[in-house]
Amino acid sequence: MSYIKAIPAVLSKTANYTVSTNDGDNVQVNTSASGGAVTITFYAASGNAGKIITVKKTDSSANAVTLDGNASETLDGATTATLTAQYDSATFVCDGTNWQKAATVGATGAAVDSDQNILSTQVFS
């Protein structure tokens, strides 16, 4: 039996980056787009079921952080996802074919859906 590490490896990026399987089974990419828009590309889903990638926008600029699946792979059915506000984050779990959204947290700390509707007002610290 194998287990995914519960505490993520944490990376900090300020430019386009492709997440690698060498970064860990559970990785958080803290991303600053203060110098311009940034794209974080996910590694191939094949053979990586159960692995987790979280991306968080850390700066307050108007520049977006775009999340992009590998090649034609999707992120919860879409080819890309976008983080636009400081502290927005999205967590995706690999199903071996694509990436499924596990959580999205808005800048207020509230869990939100893809239309930014608040799902929970409980903030975890």
Place of tokens 């400081």: 86
Tell me the sheet residues that pair with 17: 40
Strand, coil or helix: what is 102? strand
Q: Domain extents for the chain?
A: 9-120
Return the number of other C-beta atoms located less than 10 Å from residue 71's C-beta.
9
pLDDT in tens, 111-121: 554 444 444 44
pLDDT at 7: 79
pTM: 0.82
Compute the distance between CA of residue 14 and CA of residue 106 in angstroms, rounded to an integer: 20
Does domain 9-120 fall under CATH 3.40.1000? My reply is no
pLDDT in tens, 1-38: 455 567 789 999 999 999 999 999 999 999 999 999 99
Tell me the sheet residues that pair with 12: 30
